[in-house]
Every structure is written in structure tokens, then in C-alpha cells.
Structure 1
Amino acid sequence: MQMDQWECSISLPGKKGIFQTGLSSLSMADQYESVSLICPPVDHGPAAGHSWFPGPPPPIYSCTLTPELEAKAREELQEKPEWRLRDVQALRDMILKEHPNLRTRLDDAFLLRFLRARKFDYDRALQLLLNYHAGRKAWPEVFQDLKPSTVKHVLDLGFLTVLPRPDPNGRYVLFLRPGKWKPNDYPFVDNVRAIYLTLEKLIQPEETQVNGIVILADYTGVGMSQASNPGPFLAKKVVSILQDGFPIRIKAVNIVNEPRIFKGIFAIIKPFLKEKMAERYVLHGSDLRSLHRSIPPSFLPEEYGGTAGRLDLAAWTRLLLDCEEEFIVEFCQPDPLEGVVLPDSMLFEEGAGGKDEDTFRGLRSQLYYCY
């Protein structure tokens, strides 16, 4: 097979193949020589040295779930350890048969993310994988040259971070502060880029794939300029990526210190949310006791009535920046959908802007009224 410089070959003793990750993928290359595979880096460098966050998975899959998490995955995700690699192989076969030109990773660890996110439903997992790649094609401003160094200004500003300890349910807390962003400072899509890179890092550990994550958003300082800037079409893209185009389970969205204008902001977002996701939004206002019922104080920084020390923005920034090479391999490569024919029903339908703008004109008056 002719390989580009961004592709790689992994050879295992006594076996032949272009990308061999354990028992489930040893014979696929001989059957489908035209498939290009993106290989995750083997040497993860200093990123593996952040003791508070799990390191990336090894190139050859080996389950890292505890017996308790395996039981949880069985109950909530229909994951059976004895069938795990068989299920991965089934999804891999579907990709190679139905989309042989798709430039996607096919290793076990990567495909498991999509199976777990869709409770091991092969068809839904495949659709999620296609949406995952389609999102990149539909929104090049976000995904072109996507690496941590290009969003350092967002991280330094404190727009987002990840709290160092998972909550009692084992879920990492993605902490957002939309009020830290001012439209005149940089484009809104830079915030989306930083969020996406963070999600990509968060989803690597198998614990996150099973437990999901929690979002905590502090809306202190959010005014009309932030609320009206993205607009419904941009909001729809963000929601579509998080809800239908990324293999992560968002279990709760906690909003604190929301201003009156948040009613108008949520009116923009809600039409694009699935009912189950909309029900996971919890508005706490300035009532920290209400927040503590969702996230106990021992897991929160002092600024939010917690006992976990002062809020540390630098730790997550360092972790992401240490993963620069990892993200270059993952994102700074040729278009994975080049030459691929996708189904008619995909994310981000073209030509929807007119309807969205009409909707936005109606919602803008709501924003001003709330403001």
C-alpha cells in the first residue's frame, strides 16, 4: 500500500498487516489495501507525566476499566467484556465495507469510544463516527490547524479549564466561564476550538467513556455582546457537534450566576437540544447550596464554596500544551472525507442560514427584553 507521510505502519512479531491492534484487526489490511489509517503517536512525551489525569491509551488496546466500571458499562452501555473485541471488529468491518475511502483511525481504543457513546448499537455508532468527521468538513474555521498552541490565548484568559478531581460519580468537570470572553478580543470560534481540544483529551481515558462528564458554567459577566454574538446558526453547529458528532456522554450541565439575559440565551440553544439533554440543564443562580447538591464542596474550588483549594487554570493549560504533537498527528492532516460519499442526512445542512437568521431576529428581541 502506498502510504503518505502522515500514515504509519505497526508491525507485530509473526503477523502481517498495516495497522494491527490486538486480536481484532490482524487480517483487515490484506482485504482492504486502499484504506488510509491515522495512527496515534506511540511516544506521548511529557503529557503522560500529569499524575492527576490519566495518560493516553497504549497503541495496542488493553482494557483499563476496574471491575466496578466494567459492571457499570455492562448495565448502562450494554458492553460485554467477553464480546468487546468482537463488537469492535463488527464496527470496523462496517466502516471498511461501506466507507472504504474514509481516512479514519480503526484501532480498537478509538472505535470503542463510538460504540460506548451509542450503547454498542453498530448502526448508531457508525453514524456518530461519520458525524464526527463531517463536523470537521462542515466547519473548517474550527478544525483547520487545530492544536493547543493556537488556542493558548483562550486558555490563558480562563475561559475554560477542567477541575482536577472527578466528581463522586467519576465524571470530570469541564468548567466554562463565558463572561471571560469579549467579542472584540478574538473570534467566538476560538472558544469552540479550545472546547473541542479539551473534549478530545477528556475522552481518551476509558473511565470517561463510561462515566461521562459534567459541565459547570459560570455566567458571571455575560452581557448582550456575548449573548448575541454567536447567533442561532453558530449555536446549532456547536450543539450538533457536542450532541450528535462527538463520542462523549454529557451527564449534567450546571449553570451558576446566570443573568436575566440567560433566558434569551437558552431560547437560542434549546430548539437544537434533544429533550433528554435539555432536561440535564440545572440553573443554580447564586445559590451555592443548590450547586453543592449537584457537585459536593470537596470537589469544588474555594471560589464556589468548595474545599479543593483555589481555582487552578494553569494545570489544564500545561497538560494540553504538552500534547501539541499528539494533536498535530490527530488533526493537522489531509481531509479525512476526501473522496468519501456521505449519506444525504448528515450534520449541518447547507442553506439553513436564512431560516436561522429569521429565527434569530425574533430571539434578539427576547434578548433585549431580558437584558
Structure 2
Amino acid sequence: MVLLRKLSAELQEVAEGELGENFLRLEEDLEYIREWINKQPHLKARTDDQFLLAFLRGCKFSLQRTQEKLDYYYTAKTIVAELFSNRDPYDPDIQEVLRLGPVLPLPNTAGPEGPRIILLQSSVLNPDKVQYIVFLKVFLMILDILLQEDDNFTVAGVAFWSEGKNSSIRFIMQLTPALLKKIHVIMQKAYPIRLKGVYSTHCPPIAETLFNLSKSFSPEKLTKRMFLYSEIGEEFCKQIPKHLHPKDFGGANGSLEELKSKTNALFFLRFYYLL
């Protein structure tokens, strides 16, 4: 018996129309992937229905692509160990990042079938207290929880909004080209996400250089979804409407303090997904 969360009618329509999800074939697809995992001695992978379904959806139910993505997802934990080791949520470094809230999924989407928006704020991080690699580690930990918990994220996709006003240059400089390339490879090859957009506002010059470098690591399909804005103005609001911004930015999508509390609560309730 398949144990899965029921989608809303709107998300079910997206799953069937855009991803090719077929309820009559779902149990067979899940069992096929589970049997494949059990035959891979190098893979110590989870095999629960909801987790595997996130990968099937992210790969539009291509069994071959799902296998490739799962393989790389677990391989990455070894070859990029600095981003996946020591995921203890009570680690002081991780606690400091969570306290500051640089990675905040916004609760409201553009309609019930809209993609999840995740606000990234490097400006809240002090380079004397936080290493960029720990920020990235927490970012990936939160994505892992959303893979399991957030149907908008797994079905409709995700839009990343990076707000850089008053960001520390010293902190941004910790993101070396080599580390930037690693995170790009992980996001493209390991995580089963539907990237709907990457939007950067108030981007300092050095971050703009890294933004442009990141486009060189991305396929053309993705570069067309990457945008840079000097301010949170009219053009940006055509991509992420004002009412979907946090209250602190003049919107109606929760205050930053509320968002931090909600994200941290989800993190500690679901951290066993990360172990």
C-alpha cells in the first residue's frame, strides 16, 4: 500500500499535466525504484514512498533520470562531504545560522498551485561568526526537509530570491569559484527540484561577478531564469509580486521574525530527515 500525502486539486492538476504523474502507475514506479536501490550495494538510500516520489516528480517520472539523480544525491554526500557532514541541528555553528535566518521559505505562494519562494539573506551573516560553507550546509538541510514536507516545492517548483543589501563583502568572498561550482553541480545533478527562477536584488559588485559566473555553470534553459536587479522595484515585482514579499519589505507574507520561528520549528521537528 502506497503511503502518500494527498495533493490539493490544483497541485494534482500540475502533477498530472506538467509532470506526467499517473495514479494508476504510481505504486509500480515506486516499487521499481525501490527494487533498483536495493540492488545498488553502494547506495545507503531511503526508500520510503514520500521521499522517492519527490525524486520521481522532480524527474517528471523518468525512471532513468530518477535513478541517476538518486545516485548522485547520495554520491554527493561523499564527494562533497564538507557540505553534508555534521548535520547535527544542535551544532553551535548551525544554531547560529538558524538564529539569524538567512534561508526562509515564504508561506504564501502565487496561488495554490504556485512555486515555493525561498528568501536568501546573506546580509544577516557576520563573517567573523559564520562561515559561508555552514550557510550552504543549512541551505541544503532546509531543502532536504522541503523535499519531504512541501508539496508546492516538489510539484510546482521553487524560486530563489537572494536579497543582498548591506551584505558583508568579506562574507561573500568566502564563496570561491570552486565552491560555487560545487553547489551548482549539486543543485543541477543531485536535487530533484524544478527551478522556476533565481532573482538577486541589491547585489553588491562582487556578488554580481559571482552571479554572472554562476550563469556560465548553468545550461541555457536555466540562465534564462536568472535575473539581477539593483533594487526591489517595479521590474522585480513583475517576477515576485509585492504581496508575496515579507512584511519587513512592504509585503504581506509574514514578518522576518515570524518566518525565522516557523522555519526553525520545522527544522527541529523534522531534523531526523537529515541524519
Change in CA separation of 1:182 and 1:269 when aligned onto 2, cut-off 3 Å = farther
Query: Does the 8 Å contact 1:176/1:217 carry over to 2?
Result: yes
Q: Which has the larger radius of gyration?
A: 1
- For the pair 1:261 / 2:206, whether they are aligned, the reply is yes
Match of 2:12 among 70, 88, 102: 70
Query: Does the 8 Å contact 2:107/2:253 carry over to 1?
Result: no
Match of 1:163 among 106, 116, 122: 106
Q: Tell me, in whole angstroms, the C-alpha distance in 2 between the residues paired with 1:148 and 1:314.
A: 15
- For the pair 1:202 / 2:149, whether they are aligned, the reply is no
Q: Tell me, in whole angstroms, the C-alpha distance in 2 between the residues paired with 1:147 and 1:213.
A: 25
- The aligned runs of 1:347-358 (5 Å cut-off) are none
Gaps of 5+ in 2: none
Q: Tell me, in whole angstroms, the C-alpha distance in 2 between the residues paired with 1:260 and 1:152.
A: 30
Query: Does the 8 Å contact 2:105/2:117 carry over to 1?
Result: yes
Residue 113 of structure 1 is matched in structure 2 by 54
Match of 2:120 among 173, 176, 193: 176
Change in CA separation of 1:235 and 1:125 when aligned onto 2, cut-off 3 Å = same
Q: Tell me, in whole angstroms, the C-alpha distance in 2 between the residues paired with 1:179 and 1:104.
A: 36
Deviations 1:95-143 (A, max 9, x none): 333x145211122222111111111111111010011001110122222
Deviations 1:285-305 (A, max 9, x none): 214222322222222223323
Q: CA deviation at 1:186?
A: 2.6
- The aligned runs of 1:330-369 (5 Å cut-off) are 330-331=274-275
Q: Tell me, in whole angstroms, the C-alpha distance in 1 between the residues paired with 2:230 and 2:251.
A: 16
Relative to total residues, which structure has the larger helix share, 1 or 2? 2
Match of 1:140 among 81, 84, 98: 81
Q: Letter of the aligned partner of 1:176 in structure 2?
A: L
Q: Letter of the aligned partner of 2:107 in structure 1?
A: P
Provide runs of 4+ in structure 1 moved above 4 Å: none
- The aligned runs of 1:277-296 (5 Å cut-off) are 277-296=222-241
Say how many residue pairs are matched: 269
Q: Tell me, in whole angstroms, the C-alpha distance in 1 between the residues paired with 2:44 and 2:55.
A: 16
Query: Does the 8 Å contact 1:147/1:197 carry over to 2?
Result: no
Match of 1:81 among 12, 20, 23: 23
* TM-score, normalised via structure 1 length: 0.67
Q: Tell me, in whole angstroms, the C-alpha distance in 2 between the residues paired with 1:226 and 1:196.
A: 18
Q: Tell me, in whole angstroms, the C-alpha distance in 2 between the residues paired with 1:75 and 1:278.
A: 25
SS at match of 1:221: coil
Residue 346 of structure 1 is matched in structure 2 by none
SS at match of 1:149: coil
Change in CA separation of 1:309 and 1:201 when aligned onto 2, cut-off 3 Å = closer
* TM-score, normalised via structure 2 length: 0.89
Between the aligned residues of both structures, percent identity stands at: 27
Match of 2:173 among 216, 228, 231: 228
Q: Tell me, in whole angstroms, the C-alpha distance in 1 between the residues paired with 2:84 and 2:200.
A: 27
- The aligned runs of 1:267-278 (5 Å cut-off) are 267-278=212-223
SS at match of 1:208: helix
Gaps of 5+ in 1: 1-21, 23-59, 332-371
